[in-house]
């Protein structure tokens, strides 16, 4: 276990070069550099609502229209955003070295920017804004429609004066199967819900065997992902953190590189 974090980039690159299995664990910080709101901390409001209060099964049961307005807004923001140099550096690294090393990207983000940058071996822990799940038949489908349904066109702007939603539930996205027609929800792991066991198993398997782990733009406070890197460090993997500021887990790690991911990652992952 590290007691003092190194910021020796040349030394870290040597360690990375020797690694056979690499995991890159990313969080909201890398997407914030592409203009995606983090919805965590003091600024985490949409309209007058704490964003986390809308990302729950209870909120969806109480007001599916309001929750869909929030997610429609998030889909539209993410669709306009572009992968930044951090996303691109990760995808390029995988493209160059993926045949020599096992490289896995595990993300807590739901915006799809890693995939759009070109990352292939990607585990999305918390789901994806562009997938829906039927509340009745449970079918999960990719949906890139903008708007996702006609009733949501022009809705979802973060106006603090707008309270609630007057969209009838029947006008929200519904399953198109003729024998179903159930209400669709975003395919997102909400607060109070468990991660998909198969997804979690894949992530834990990658974390349990990696030689090197890069922690990128994550506050290391959302469980279970918050435990991944500290556990890897505890069993002897080399962990490097790339963040704007230290986090509660920083003392557990071997390397700490401060600054925007779009600046630090291209240096760390280049030849």
In this predicted model, what pLDDT tens digit does every residue of 75-117 receive, in sequence order? 999 999 999 999 999 999 999 999 999 999 999 999 999 999 9
Catalytic, 126? Answer yes
Q: Are residues 154 and 24 in the same domain?
A: no
Q: Are residues 5 and 71 in the same domain?
A: no
pLDDT score for 127: 97
CB atoms within 10 A of CB 65: 19
Give the tens place of pLDDT for each residue, 39-62: 765 567 899 898 889 999 999 999
pLDDT score for 45: 86
Q: Are residues 89 and 181 in the same domain?
A: no
Residue 36 assigned as binding residue: yes
Lowest mean pLDDT among 44-48, 126-130, 147-151, 181-185: 44-48
Residue 35 assigned as binding residue: yes
Query: The domain containing residue 64 runs over which residues?
Result: 37-80+128-188
pLDDT score for 42: 55
Would you place residue 166 in the very low, low, confident or very high pLDDT band (cuts 50, 70, 90)? Answer: very high
Tokens of 188: 């997102």
Residue 154 assigned as binding residue: no
Cβ-Cβ contacts under 8 Å for 74 (sequence gap 6 or more): 129
Q: Are residues 121 and 248 in the same domain?
A: yes
Give the helix ranges, DSSP H, for 81-221.
85-97, 113-117, 197-209
Q: Are residues 200 and 262 in the same domain?
A: yes
3-state secondary structure of 139: coil
Cβ-Cβ contacts under 8 Å for 11 (sequence gap 6 or more): none
DSSP 171: G
pLDDT score for 43: 61
Q: Are residues 132 and 121 in the same domain?
A: no
Q: Which of 126, 174, 187, 254 is catalytic?
A: 126
End-of-domain residue from the set 188, 206, 226: 188
Residue 256 assigned as binding residue: no
pLDDT score for 2: 43
User: With 80 as the cut, is the pLDDT of residue 30 above it?
Assistant: yes
pLDDT score for 4: 59
Provide the terminal-to-terminal Cα distance of the chain, rounded to the nearest Å: 27
DSSP 183: B
Q: Are 105 and 121 in contact (CB under 8 A)?
A: yes
pTM of the model: 0.94
User: With 50 as the cut, is the pLDDT of residue 1 above it?
Assistant: no
Q: Are residues 107 and 133 in the same domain?
A: no
Would you place residue 126 in the very low, low, confident or very high pLDDT band (cuts 50, 70, 90)? Answer: very high
């Amino acid at each position: 276990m590290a007691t003092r974090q190194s910021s020796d980039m040349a030394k870290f690159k040597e360690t990375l070069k020797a690694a056979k299995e690499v995991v890159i664990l990313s969080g909201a910080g890398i997407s914030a550099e592409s203009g995606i709101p983090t919805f965590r901390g003091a600024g985490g409001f949409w309209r007058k609502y704490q964003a986390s209060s809308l990302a729950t099964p209870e909120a969806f049961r109480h007001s599916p229209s309001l929750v869909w307005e929030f997610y429609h807004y998030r889909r539209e923001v993410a669709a306009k955003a572009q992968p930044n140099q951090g996303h691109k550096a990760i995808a390029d690294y995988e493209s160059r070295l993926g045949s020599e090393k096992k490289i896995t990207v595990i993300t807590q983000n739901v915006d799809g920017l890693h995939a759009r940058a070109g990352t292939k071996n990607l585990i999305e822990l918390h789901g994806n804004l562009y997938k829906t799940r039927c509340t009745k038949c449970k079918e999960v489908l990719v949906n890139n429609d903008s708007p996702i349904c006609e009733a949501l066109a022009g809705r979802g702007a973060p106006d603090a004066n707008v309270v609630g939603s007057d969209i009838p539930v029947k006008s929200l996205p519904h399953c198109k199967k003729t024998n179903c027609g159930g209400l669709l929800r975003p395919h997102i792991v909400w607060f109070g819900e468990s991660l998909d066991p198969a997804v979690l198993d894949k992530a834990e398997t990658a974390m349990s065997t990696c030689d090197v782990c890069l922690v990128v733009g994550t506050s290391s406070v959302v469980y279970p992902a918050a435990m991944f890197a500290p556990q890897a460090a505890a069993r002897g993997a080399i962990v490097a953190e790339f963040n704007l500021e230290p986090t509660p887990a920083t003392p557990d790690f071997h390397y700490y590189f401060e600054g925007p991911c779009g600046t630090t990652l291209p240096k760390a992952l280049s030849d």
